A and B are shown apart, each in its own frame.
Chain A
Amino acid sequence: MFTRRYLFGKGAYGLGIAALARLLGEEITAEGQQGRLPHFSPKVKRVIYLFQSGAPSQIDTLDYKPGLAALTGQDLPDSVRQGQRLTAMTATQSSFPIAPSIFEFRQHGQTGAWISELMPHTAGIADKLCIVRSMHTEAINHDPAVTFFQTGAQLAGRPSIGAWVSYGLGSLNRDLPGFVVMVSSGSGRNGQPLYDRLWGSGFLPTRYQGVKFRSNGDPVLYLSDPGGIDRAGRRRYLDDLGRLNQLKYDDFGDPEILTRISQYEMAFRMQSSVPELIDLSGEPESTFDLYGPESRKPGTFAANCLLARRLLERDVRFVQLFHRGWDQHTDLPEQIRKQCADTDQPSAALVQDLEQRGLLDDTLVVWGGEFGRTVYSQGKLTADNYGRDHHPRCFSVWLAGGGIRPGVVGQTDEFSYNIVEDPVHVHDLHATILHLMGIDHEKLTFKYQGRNFRLTDVHGRLVKKALA
């Protein structure tokens, strides 16, 4: 009889990962290919990206424009618009009335960052944040814009940022995937759809794609054993399966068989590690107080933030949350209140929690959406109601954690319409995220269709002002 140790002593680990990778052809990692990752000493080991899908209004949250009040209802001057293309939803609108935010802004912390009353908890951690007010992108519609943020290209087909990182750096944890995704819906209007491609691997091997953790059913697809199979039964099953596969390997010598054996073992470990991970029963009351009452409800943004912290504690390298519902073309004041109520406290709690646990120093937290929103009202502007259309020319995101310099980067004009200082393109943000992980964005490449592709295409400059 074989023991497991015998099997795996001789099996996958015995052969050596490098040798395996060489034999597996398609599965050569960037490590194997380039042999010099990380390219330099990383500032962070992990990334948690809180993606706000649908595009939050910068004007009502992080980009304070006190001068707009005096211009309420006036047409946005052509000199500001500069013929910039608009979405077809408002391109034929007869006027573009300026709609100042109805929300109060105040300065917070030592950095004195202006933050809206919609985000009191975020305001409470102002000194940990680097607020980039000068983000800009190229797409003006959700699908291409989110795809651009996730993959560096507007059209489908490229690997997502988390897949690039997994490919480049591999996993730090042998019981959990290296790239985990969770989605949630806001309390506001039903949001824009998401797509599996947003965490896909594009032309990279599929094993680098994000694994979606779900709040309904199995937390990872097909994780649970069917009813009627207990752990001992599954163990025995895997031992027998391993024996038969090993016999096949002994006969045929195909190293792929050994990989298969090891992947079944990893599956078995995930069957314990994932339920343990999502079991919040051991969390003290103070945790739920910190993240807010919604954190007890599976599938909420707050619960996902808490799970994200647990994933990061276990060294899952890239975690990404997607929170839907920010697409406020109409009824923005009412809708954005709900969205902020969903996200403000847990986002701030996550930063604080990571800090308390000593993890913030080597974790990067990113918060933001795919583009911004227009200063002019879409549809009718009234004293307490307005809507905002898509606006790619400027918007705000924030960063926190290792290697980040708190403060404000970039500046927009008085209308929050154009950037006047330190523009940060999506490629620049990508380059900066990779840089913090020890990756030179120009050197993390994958050859496909005759070209060395990279996340940042042929662009990307470090956002030096955001770096400590």
Chain B
Amino acid sequence: MRHLFPNSFILLAGLAIASPAPGAVEFNRDIRPILSENCFACHGPDEAKRMTALRLDVEDGTKVALAGGKRAIVPGEPESSELYLRVSAVDEGRRMPPAAFGHDRLTDRQIGLLREWIQEGALWQGHWSFLKPDRPAIPPDRHAGWPVNPVDSFILRRLQADGLEPSPPASKETLVRRVALDITGLPPDLADVDAFLADSSPDAYETLVDRLLASSRYGERMAVRWLDAARYADTNGYQTDAERYMWRWRDWVIDAFAANKPFDEFTVEQIAGDMLPGARLQQVIATGFNRNHRGNGEGGIVDAEYAVEYVVDRVDTTSTVWLGLTLACARCHDHKYDPFTQKEYYELFAYFNNVPEKGKAFKYGNSPPFVKAPTREQSESLAEMDAELRRLRAQRNELEKGLAAARQAWETSTSQGREALDWADGRDLVLAFPKPDERWRDLPRRFDGGDFEEFGEAANFGFYDRFSVAGWIRADSADGAIISKTRNVPGEEDTQGNPGWGFYIKDGRLQVNMVNRWLDDCLRLESQEEISLGEWHHVAFTYDGTRLASGLRIYLDGRPVPLRIIRDEMNQEFRSKEPLRIGRGLGLDYRGELRRLLVYGRALTEDEVAVLAVHGSLPELASVAPRDRSGPEALKLSLAFRDSFGPAELTALTVRIRDLERRRQEAHDAVPTVMVMAEMAPRKKTYLLDRGAYDAPAEEVLPGLPAALSKADPQDRLGFARWLVSSENPLTARVTVNRIWQMLWGRGIVRTVEDFGSQGEWPTHPELLDWLAVDFMESGWDVKRLVKTIVMSAAYRQSSRFAAESRATDPENVLYSRGPRLRLPAESVRDLSLAISGLLVDRVGGPSVRPYQPPGLWTELAGGADYEVGAGAELYRRSLYTFWKRAVPPPSLMIFDSAGREVCTVRSVRTNTPLQALNRMNDAAYLETSRALVQRVMREEGPGHDRRLARLFRLATSRHPRPEEAQVLSSGFHYHLDRYRTDTGAAVELLGAEEADLLDPSRRPELAAYTMMASLVLNLDETITRE
């Protein structure tokens, strides 16, 4: 009985299109929406709000005995059913829902439906979308040219039931433009239009569709809606809203659609690609989906609060996108309409709550966990450099073998110590103190407290810089600054100011501080052990520029020591205007001796630190028998020989290798990262949060699925992902085909694409939805096939002209009595203009770009740096590559109803406003487009105003103007031509001085007039509509 979908009438929430025929009441379609809207709040799933034992959301709940032995529903006997009696009661005190709670009486129609339903036996049904879809039988109905495929059969049956006929097919010109815009987001080239018009073969249309689906533009087109759903953006959101880097994930999505990755794989990889056995980098990148949520790096936030919000965002987004469920409602209490308890919400939450992340996100850039995600070119280039490095190192090994005798001779002469001699690595050396001579002879410097050395701007490192400090100390006091770049006042009481970095002995321990604010914005670590005073030690720290405690190491006597993290909260730059000082900082004066204190602009390796910590000079080491030298001692000799004392061919090769190593490092640094999902072991505990509040944990919960959807509970996120696309899940396929249907028709079969629960709207064509869903699953989740099935249907190919009767009977085209006529989505409005004018740079993927935007928009809201318009190709890429700043999204896209990308958005909205008109008419970017369009027409079309105007019109609309349209164009053109002839200055202004300079002055008025007409054509309703 799952497909009891009579066709005699339709009821949309609040919009009755026809009256019910007797004997046709169906619970899911007719009754549940009434109960859900009016009764569930108190007689529904939310246990806390239930006033009595009576529940109207589950069948058993309706059967409880009420006071006085009455029952809510007595099948066949409405007059004995309390439900009917109470909703129809005249007495306000008795009537349900209670007037006292602000409810209105149900409408007569609703009361009538309830009565009829009870009269007919009160047949109960589970909520339709929670029942697994079966493939419905295809109705046999026929009509001229219909059906082309099963889509038509279901639509035709409904149309005929309502006494409507399908519309005639759209013209070929309309159809080629429609399908190109739908599949690729761009209009067809005129050559494509002509080819399609000329192709009279029966499969001309299918050939066209196949060609469009094979285009990389299809991947881009499909990706845009997915990016909206995934709340993809180029900034972190919240306060500072600084840049993040998720474009490698965006490109993964484009590639996945273009390659027609089956939707089940597409799903599993995005939800849990990191957990797949032997996960490949691409599968890990895919999990960026659930790291696209905003990240809060505002100073002072409570870490735990936002750690919860991120997980909430994942649950809400995932459940909206795959399940079409509004689970967010169950965060604070049991769901009021659907059978989900608050506990079940947190069981789902648990799948996403095991990411090694912090609530306080990085203010700038990507927050952990993230991975390096090289592009193909970068991977290839890195691999080449690695191969070259291997080759050069092998060459050096060979060379060194051949130089054994020379090496021996050098060691011998060095050991005889004719001259005092030492060596230290001089690469990236920023400062050496006390300053050695060229043979690295240096002496200790004594500090008695109060004296120090200043070095101005030296070592003004930032938090992305790698750097290291290493040196010998013999400290007399347990507190002292070895080196610092910060004010000489105690740090900790100073909650705001005093940024900088420094290396200290504090309470006898080695301490490194990199500080923006002492209490909450700094990286501070210290050695667990104290060092001995009055003895020489070699001390060092290295920092790798990651802003994390894990990137900082402290060494004592050449070995890394165990550390205590004082604070791991570095979020903003710690650069200080204070000079670099040795022997002073934070009010701590150093007492004791210092020798060979070296500051490097790179993170030294463990070996390199060990070499610096070698006590002996070269002559001393050379005098030791090779087998008696420690590892670092031997290494020091080898490095010195390679670097400075070997023959020229060795030192030259060493330079080559180092150059390549540096370039390799730079290339590696340039590789973008992308935030991804990861798991922790052991699993982080998840608790039900009372009222949804982060600081009100109640009982512990384990990962699990809502009982209404599944009997089994997958153990982890990967299991959850697999369940999403298993045949056990009734929702994913329906929700997905519905969203793609919305993309092509402007509305879903279930109009509430985000809500398939009991508050969602009833599907207009439930059988069609189920047929598409089952077909989609059985095809192996083939997305291209799904799109093709829809666009091949006769229904899709109908004319979108509003015929008189369909306008009256089907004003919103709910029954698909005509083709959909839709204003293009925001990105297509712009992309189409670029394409028509020939400016479009059709290149797939890459970092986000910065096309034109009026100046000042960023600064006026946030201060600081303004948006910087890019150059060259950046100006003309497709809009899905436009840099998306969440706080100030691109205005020309937002004006055309683009999703804001702060939260998951799946419902498409189209408004029609004066700001859209202003944008299209006056945006300098569109004026440039108009000029380019004129140039294109002048290039491609022979002389004659009418011919040129016709081509302009055709480029924009893919059709020839009709005579009355051509007349308007011609007359308008001549009006502007006359005006610009009288006012040539205005023509120059419109064309832009630079461009006008290139033109013969006599041609300027003409081109200006064409520019006006080009702009006009770009502003036509038809141009930005696919009809």
Contacts and interface: CB of A to CB of B under 8 A. Distances in A.
B542 interface: no
A165 to B, nearest CB: 17
Contacts of A245: 1020-1022
A197 B494 CA distance: 35
Interface in A155-197: 155-157, 183, 185, 190-197
A245 B492 CA distance: 69
B649 to A, nearest CB: 58
A282 interface: no
- Dominant SS at the B interface? loop
A290 to B, nearest CB: 26
A253 B986 contact: no
Interface string A20-36: 00111111000000000
B1016 A87 contact: no
Given A87-B301, A225-B921, A207 B986 contact: no
- Interface size on A, as a range, is 35 or more
A88 B299 contact: yes
B204 interface: no
A252 B802 contact: yes
A260 interface: yes
Interface string A230-251: 1011101100110111011001
Contact of B894 (A196, A232, A248): A196
B1019 A241 contact: yes
Contact of B496 (A183, A185, A200, A329): A329
Given A25-B812, A193-B862, A88 B519 contact: yes
Contacts of B1008: 228
Interface in A372-398: 378-380, 387, 389-390
B913 A195 contact: no
Interface string B279-305: 000000000000000101011111100
A205 B821 CA distance: 19
B897 A206 contact: yes
Contacts of A27: 911-912
B494 A214 contact: no
A252 B801 contact: yes
Interface stretch (A3-11, A40-48, A263-271, A309-317): A263-271
Interface in B686-707: 695
Contacts of A23: 811-812
Contact of B964 (A90, A247, A389): A247
Given A450-B755, A451-B329, A157 B241 contact: no
Interface in B329-360: 329, 336-338, 360
Contacts of A185: 863
Interface stretch (B82-90, B870-878, B971-979): B971-979
A221 B889 CA distance: 14
A25 B742 CA distance: 14
Nearest to B521: A89
B759 interface: yes
Interface in B820-874: 821, 823, 854-856, 860-864
A330 B300 contact: no
Instruction: Count chain A CB atoms within 10 A of each CB in B300, B309, B320, B338 and give the residue with the most.
Output: B300
Chain A CB within 10 A, most for which of B238, B803, B886: B238
B752 interface: yes
Given A206-B913, A221-B919, A450-B757, A140 B300 contact: yes
Interface in A414-455: 442-443, 447, 449-451
Contact of B1021 (A229, A230, A248): A248
Interface stretch (B269-277, B663-671, B988-996): B988-996
Interface of A: 22-27, 85, 87-94, 140-143, 155-157, 183, 185, 190-197, 200, 205-207, 211, 214-218, 220-230, 232-234, 236-237, 240-241, 243-245, 247-248, 251-254, 256-257, 259-261, 263-264, 266-267, 270-271, 324, 329-330, 378-380, 387, 389-390, 442-443, 447, 449-451
Interface of B: 102, 237-241, 294, 296, 298-303, 309, 320, 326, 328-329, 336-338, 360, 492-497, 517, 519-520, 695, 747, 752, 754-755, 757-760, 800-803, 807, 811-812, 821, 823, 854-856, 860-864, 886-889, 891, 894-895, 897, 900, 902-903, 909-919, 921-924, 927, 962, 964-965, 968-969, 971-972, 975-976, 979, 986-991, 1008, 1012, 1015-1016, 1019-1022, 1025, 1027
12 contacts: A25-B747, A156-B903, A157-B903, A196-B888, A226-B989, A233-B979, A236-B976, A245-B1022, A247-B968, A267-B918, A449-B755, A450-B329
Given A26-B911, A216-B855, A450-B326, 19 more contacts: A88-B299, A90-B300, A90-B519, A92-B519, A94-B493, A141-B239, A155-B903, A193-B862, A195-B887, A197-B886, A207-B912, A222-B923, A229-B990, A236-B975, A244-B969, A245-B1020, A257-B1021, A264-B1019, A450-B752
